[in-house]
Structure 1
Amino acid sequence: MKKSRIILVMLVIALCALGTVWAGGKAEQPAPSASQQSQPAQSAQPIVLRLAETHPADYPTTKGDYRFADLVKERSNGRIQIEVYPSSQLGEEKAVIEQVQFGAIDFTRVSISPLAAFSPNFDALQMPYLYRNEEHMWNVLKGPIGKEFLASVEPANFVGLCWYESGARNFYNSKREVKSPADLKGMKIRVQQSELMVNLVTALGAVATPMAFGEVYSALQTGVIDGAENNWPSYYSTSHYEVAKYYTLDEHTRVPEITIASKISMDKLSKADQDLIKQAAWDSMDYQRQQWADYEKVAIEKIKANGNVITQIPDNSAWQAAMKPLYDKLSPALKDVVAKIRQVQ
C-alpha cells in the first residue's frame, strides 16, 4: 500500500509539472511583431451559390439571370456570388427543380408549367387565352396576385423570387399550315411535362407528347413528333424553325417564367442576406423584359427571312371554345383566382 501511494504521489507531481511547462510555454510565446499587428484579418470566403438555366448564355432569360447575379454581387460587396450555368449544364428543367427542392442546386429559372407538378395552383396563371395581352399579364404578376403566388411555393420547399417574360406560345409543325383546331387533329405535338399542357393539346385534337426541351430538335428532324409549341425566341434560338416551318400565331398561352430559390439554401443565410437576394431578383425583372422585347424582334425578322409560313389567327373563338373542359375542371378556389385575374386592369 505504501509503495502504491508513493507511485500515485509521483504521478500527480509529474502531471502538475507538465501542466506548468505547457502553460508556461503558452505564456512564453513571442508577441506578434508590429508588422503582423498592422495586417488586416483574413477576409471570409465569399458565399458562392449556383443558378441553373435551360437556355443558352445569350438568351433573354439567361441575361436576366446574369443581371440578378450582378446585382447580388454588387449589393453584397462581393460577399455573395451567384454562378449562372446556362444551356442545361446542371440538367433539364424537371430534374433541376427537384434538385433545388432538396438543396443540391440553389436557384433556377424555369417555366411555371413543370413547376405546377409541385405547386398545382400555378395552373391558374397559365390557363389558355386567359390574358388580354402582355400588359394585362404583368399587371397581374407585379400586383397582389403575383406576390401571393411567389409566396405559395414555400410549402414545396421553394422560395419564389421574381417573374420573367416568355412571350405568347404558339404552335409550329413540319407537316402543314394550321389555320384551325381541325388542322391539328392527329398531329404529335411536343408539350412540357405538365398535365395542363397535355390537356390543352388533347382538347384541340392533337396527340400530346411530353418531352424534355433539349430533345425536341432531333425529334422534329426524325419525325418522332410533328410539332411543338413555344414563343418566337425559343422557336428561333433552338433552330426549330429550320425543321418545322409552319408557325401559327394562336397565342394559346402566356406562361410566365419564375426564378425560385431552394428554401434549404436560403435558410442558411441571414435574413438580411435573404432580403438582399429577393430584392435583387425583383429588380432584375424590367431588364429581362427589355432583353426579351429586343430578342423577339430579331427572332421574328430571322424567321421571316428564312421563308417560314407564318399564319395569323384573326378569330380564335373556336380555339377558346375547345378549352371549356379545362376551365370546368378547375377547383372552386382556382376558378376564383381566374376570375380575379380577368378583373385586373
Structure 2
Amino acid sequence: MKKINRREFIRMSAVLAAAGALTACGGSKSGSTAGSGAGASAEGVKGLTLKLSHNANEQHLIHKAMTQFANEVNEKTNGDIKIEVYPNATLGGEKDNLEQMGIGALDMAKVSAASLETFAPVYEAFSVPYIFNNRDHFYGFMDSDQAKEVFHSTEAQGFIALTWLDSGTRSFYTVKTPVMTPADLKGLKIRTMDSPMAIEMMNCFGGSATAMPISDVYTAMQSGVIDGAENNETALTVGGHGEVAKCYSYDEHTRIPDIVLISTKVWNKFSVEQQEIVQAAADAAKETYKADWQAAIEQAVKDAETNMGVTFYHPDSLAPFQEAVQPIYDRLAKEEPEVWALCEKIQAFQA
C-alpha cells in the first residue's frame, strides 16, 4: 500500500468525512462522542458485519479479548451487529490499519498507542518514559474521563477509541548484559518499536535504537544484529525471546496501552442503544483482560526462569533512568503544547 504522510492523511480523512463518502463502512453523520449517543442514527443498523483487525496470534490474550467483545456485541444486538476478528495482521500492520480506517476502508482495529503517535499526536503522551508512576496510577488514569476525552478526539481522522488494554510494563532484555543503569546501554543495539518517542528515549539512554518488526527480533538477537530489545515479560515466552536473551532488567520505562478503535462512520450509524451495547461490551472485555493479563505476566516470569534460564534483574534505583529522559520532558513542554498538556494531566492525576 502506498504510504502517505500525516498531514496528507489528515487532509484526506477530513475531506472524506465532510463529504460523507460512501465506503464499505457506509455513510454517517458527524459529531459522535463514544458512549454519549451524539451523532447516533435514529434507526440503527440491521445485519451489519464489521471487520476488526489486530496483529496478535490466535493464542494471544488480545485475540481472546476481541473475540469476547465480538461475541457479546453479536448476542446483545440479536445479530444486528456482527464483528469478524482478523488476527495475525491479516489485514495489514497497525499503521496500515490506521490509514485504512482514516479513509473508511476498515471498521475496527486494535493498535498500540505508540502507533497512533503519527496520526493523532496527543497519543504520544502515553509513550513518554516514566509518565505513569505505577500500575494503579496507569489503570486509574486510563479509566478516567480525562482519558476518554483523548479517545474521542480523533473524529476528524476517521476513528474514535472505545477502550484500552494493558500491554504491560516495558523493560530491557538483553542477550548477555543486564541493564542496571543507563550506562549499561552504551554501545548496545536495542530493538524498539517504530515510534519517534521510543527512538528518542533510546538516544537519551545512550543506546542505539533499531526499529524492526517484532517477528524479526528472535533471529536478530540470535545472529548478533541486535543485542536486545524492550518489551514486557511475555515477549520472553510467547515470542520465544528467552531462548536467546538471558537477562531481563526491570527498568520499567514505559506503560504503553493498546487502544481499540472504531470508525466514526460506523459508530454514527448505530442507534443510541447499539452504541451503549458496543461500548459496554468493549469495557467488559477490558476488565476481563486486566485479570487475564496479570496471570499471564506471572506465568511468563515463572516459565522464563524455570524453562529458559532467564535471570531477572532489579536496578538499585530508577532515578538514573528517569534523569536521563528529562530532555524529553523539556522538549515536549517547549515544542508540543497539546502533548505536554496531557502529560501534566497524567502527572497530576490521583485515583
Q: TM-score, normalised by structure 2?
A: 0.81
Residue segments in structure 2 that go unaligned for 5+ positions in a row: 1-44
Q: Kindly tell me: are residues 336 and 268 of structure 1, through their superposed partners in 2, closer, same or farther at Cα, counting changes over 3 Å?
A: closer
Query: Matches of 1:86 and 1:281 in 2, distance apart?
Result: 17
Q: SS of the counterpart of 1:97?
A: helix
| Alignment-derived partner of residue 219 in structure 1 | 220
Larger radius of gyration: 1
Query: Matches of 2:175 and 2:311 in 1, distance apart?
Result: 10
| 8 Å Cα contact 2:127-2:198 kept in structure 1 | no
Structure 1 residues 32-63: Cα deviation after superposition (integer angstroms, max 9, x where no partner): xxxxxxxxxxxx98322111121122222222
Q: SS of the counterpart of 1:70?
A: helix
Structure 1 residues 118-157: Cα deviation after superposition (integer angstroms, max 9, x where no partner): 0111111221112121111111111121111101122221
Query: Matches of 2:71 and 2:221 in 1, distance apart?
Result: 37
Q: Which moved more, 1:335-344 or 1:310-319?
A: 335-344
Query: Matches of 1:101 and 1:217 in 2, distance apart?
Result: 33
| 8 Å Cα contact 1:102-1:264 kept in structure 2 | no
Q: Kindly tell me: are residues 289 and 81 of structure 1, through their superposed partners in 2, closer, same or farther at Cα, counting changes over 3 Å?
A: same
Structure 1 residues 304-324: Cα deviation after superposition (integer angstroms, max 9, x where no partner): 112112111231111000111
For residue 191 of structure 1, report the CA deviation from its aligned partner: 1.1
| Alignment-derived partner of residue 156 in structure 2 | 155
User: 1:73-92 counterparts in 2 under 5 A?
Assistant: 73-92=74-93
Q: SS of the counterpart of 1:49?
A: strand
Structure 1 residues 169-188: Cα deviation after superposition (integer angstroms, max 9, x where no partner): 01112232221111111211
Q: Which moved more, 1:226-235 or 1:89-98?
A: 89-98
Query: Matches of 1:94 and 1:228 in 2, distance apart?
Result: 21
Structure 1 position 172 matched with structure 2 position 177: no
Identity percentage of aligned residues? 35
| Alignment-derived partner of residue 10 in structure 1 | none
* Equivalences, count: 302
| 8 Å Cα contact 2:200-2:328 kept in structure 1 | yes
| Alignment-derived partner of residue 325 in structure 1 | 327
| Alignment-derived partner of residue 342 in structure 1 | 347
| 8 Å Cα contact 2:65-2:289 kept in structure 1 | yes
| Alignment-derived partner of residue 127 in structure 1 | 128
Q: Kindly tell me: are residues 93 and 235 of structure 1, through their superposed partners in 2, closer, same or farther at Cα, counting changes over 3 Å?
A: farther
Query: Matches of 2:235 and 2:97 in 1, distance apart?
Result: 19
Structure 1 position 197 matched with structure 2 position 198: yes
For 1:202, the aligned partner's letter is: N
Structure 1 residues 7-53: Cα deviation after superposition (integer angstroms, max 9, x where no partner): xxxxxxxxxxxxxxxxxxxxxxxxxxxxxxxxxxxxx9832211112
Task: Tell me: higher relative CO, structure 1 or 2? Use CA pairs within 8 A at least 6 residues apart.
Answer: 2
For residue 267 of structure 1, report the CA deviation from its aligned partner: 4.0
Query: Matches of 1:69 and 1:93 in 2, distance apart?
Result: 19
Q: SS of the counterpart of 2:118?
A: coil
For residue 268 of structure 1, report the CA deviation from its aligned partner: 4.4
For residue 270 of structure 1, report the CA deviation from its aligned partner: 4.2
| Alignment-derived partner of residue 211 in structure 2 | 210
| Alignment-derived partner of residue 35 in structure 2 | none
| 8 Å Cα contact 1:57-1:87 kept in structure 2 | yes
| 8 Å Cα contact 1:92-1:213 kept in structure 2 | no
| 8 Å Cα contact 2:123-2:339 kept in structure 1 | no
For residue 274 of structure 1, report the CA deviation from its aligned partner: 3.5
User: 1:267-278 counterparts in 2 under 5 A?
Assistant: 267-278=268-279
For 1:77, the aligned partner's letter is: N
Q: SS of the counterpart of 2:133?
A: coil
Query: Matches of 1:226 and 1:94 in 2, distance apart?
Result: 26
Q: Kindly tell me: are residues 313 and 289 of structure 1, through their superposed partners in 2, closer, same or farther at Cα, counting changes over 3 Å?
A: same
| 8 Å Cα contact 2:127-2:256 kept in structure 1 | yes
For residue 230 of structure 1, report the CA deviation from its aligned partner: 0.5
Q: SS of the counterpart of 1:160?
A: strand
Q: SS of the counterpart of 1:116?
A: helix
For 1:321, the aligned partner's letter is: E
For residue 271 of structure 1, report the CA deviation from its aligned partner: 4.7
Q: TM-score, normalised by structure 1?
A: 0.83
